[in-house]
Amino acid sequence: MSDRIFGAVGLALAIFYAFAASQIQESFLTDTVGPKAFPYIIAAILGLASAYIALRPDPEPVWPPLGRLVEIVAAVVALMIYAQVLPEIGFVIATAFAAAYLSWRLGSKPLSSVIAGVSISVGIYIVFHLILGLSLARGPFGF
């Protein structure tokens, strides 16, 4: 039963996402694909996956214990905080903290988590900003 509910919620989310994508204003200076194509693709994939889950549920889903559910909620809260502080403290710092926290919660030792968080943050910054030239949120230090 829970798989059917999850599939129905995912299907509703896909419909809402497609509707939101249809509201995107197109400029007269767009490429042939346009800005709506990628959101429509994501909505279609989400809709198909959700429909499959709703129509072919697992016989008996195994729910994680309460401690694991708390860990999942904590990870979601951490990502929500990340999204809120990203414009304020910048990509590199926010990503380093988020990646370090998530790495720690996935089982790394604290020092290894900090090293992983900083490495992930700087690595993504180098690839996306310095090499590809994409704009990332700037913090108080300009990066």
pLDDT in tens, 94-143: 999 999 999 999 999 999 999 999 999 999 999 999 998 888 988 888 77
Q: Which one-letter DSSP state was computed for residue 55? A: H
Q: At what angle do helices 91-105 and 110-125 cross, to 10 degrees?
A: 140
109 by DSSP, 3-state: which? coil
Entry pTM: 0.64
Note the pLDDT of residue 63: 79
pLDDT bucket at 24, cuts 50 / 70 / 90:
confident
In this predicted model, which residue has the larger pLDDT, 35 or 125? 125
Contacts of 9 (CB under 8 A, 6+ apart): 50
**Interatomic CA distance for residues 57 and 5, integer angstroms:** 10
Instruction: Using alpha carbons, list the distances in angstroms from residue 69 to 50, 57, 61, 140.
Output: 21, 21, 15, 35
Cα of 70 vs its chain's centroid, Å: 19
Question: Within 10 A of 90 (CB to CB), how many other CB atoms are there?
Answer: 21
Note the pLDDT of residue 30: 65
Of the candidates 89, 103, 92, which has an alpha carbon nearest to the alpha carbon of residue 125? Answer: 92
